[in-house]
Structure 1
Amino acid sequence: MIELKTPQEIQQMRPAGKFVGQILSDLKKMTKVGTNLLEIDNFVKNAIENRQGASSCYVDYAPDFGTGPFAHYICTSVNDAVLHGVPYDYNLKNGDLLSLDLAINVDGWVGDSAISFVVGDAAEEDLRLIKSTEEALAAGIDQARAGNRLGDISSAIGEVAASYGYDVNLEFGGHGVGHIMHGDPHVPNDGRAHHGYRLRPGLVIAIEPWWLSTTDEIFQDEKDGWTLRSADGSRGAHTEHTIAITDGDPIILTARD
């Protein structure tokens, strides 16, 4: 069921979004060649434990698309991994493409966001891939206005992907956000403009373009039962914000520094 938030409830969601955005900003600054993925996970754990009213949306999360409960505080996807990456004992290498996806509940409301960046020296193709998801996110947010339709957001995202020559996988995409992390509606990363649910003030959604450089096929890593990797070993990027639709411009609740 699609739920609409009141203006007051949207204001109540701001602390969660700000907290998530700040942690991702801090992680991008501190992550370097040699940083261990478990260090990143522990940083988030400590931040949540030190914030009154905060709790992880990931620990013990057990949806039907994962194998067993997720046991960490953040998703860390490296290179050919693009979604749901499980942190493990791995020291990041020069040139690694890292995607961080983070959702936290603060005082009963969720903020959900993701960033991708290269650790150390960056290959031009990796920067191009990341830039495409960032541009797609901006295009999707620009269409998140009352009176438009859900397909306008999806179409805008898909058009950016196509302009860069990337194929879009539709198995996972954006979603409603509120008291829970994943709610209605589903927000595909490609679609038909002027079709679908009519956007209304009070709708809060996560818009999250993600794709891979040379394929749209993914598989689940059997070792951890969660990490989604490209079928051909190519790299992926993932960018996400939680936004609120209003009578005017959309509000980016997870804005980062």
Structure 2
Amino acid sequence: MAEERLQKILARAGLGSRRKCEDLIAAGRVTVNGVTVTEPGCRADMDTDAVCVDGAPVRREARMYLMLNKPAGCLTTAGGDPEGRGTVMQFVAHIPGRVFPVGRLDYDTEGLLLFTNDGEFAQKVIHPSHETIKTYEAVVRGRPSPQAMDMLRRGVMLDDGPTRPAAARITGERTVSAPVKQRGGPVEELVRGAVVELRVHEGRKRMVKRMLRKVGHPVLFLRRTAIGKLHIGNLPLGETQILGESERALIFENPE
């Protein structure tokens, strides 16, 4: 195994964020081959070097891969929220070791969210060069016309540039609870809208919502149903599932 920065090794072993691990090093609590190290720039090889914190050997953490069916009403962040809102980390608290979310889903969006402690895997999933396809199911106001659907398929111009062509189709209708503006403020009402399935390559902030609003059909409800060929299936909201090698491979396959 190649040499890596010490704080990266410690963070991957579940000893905290890289910043916290830098503090451990600066405090003189870390040794490499019996020698105390205080410089975060120090490098080590877990195959050949003995790394210890407070005298206890640091073990190489087993790689973890899992998916969560994220509920609406929680933030996608590996840290806390200054406003005290719930985060996705509450759903992986039972997982041994440290994992982090791969990419993000909006606060009010449901669906498939990956977690791992494998940085290279996470980068492969989210980096645009790998063109990982994400499938979303949106309930929108009204029913998009054939012209609106063609706009989605060709790509639409957003504030941060044009979107790439997307696979788009209407799969039915659904009634959902959505905020409706009233004189005294917004209230929740049942609204019936079309169900639009979108498959996109990009991961820009709130992109799916912005695309559908651009063609005149604001989103009432949104969930991510698949990444590549890995589908959320019948996994209950708030539940996690460990992913084996064959399931992880599905992430990088194009859905039919």
Same fold (TM over 0.5): no
| Higher RCO by CA contacts (8 Å cutoff, separation 6 or greater) | 1
Of Structure 1 and Structure 2, the greater helix share is in 1
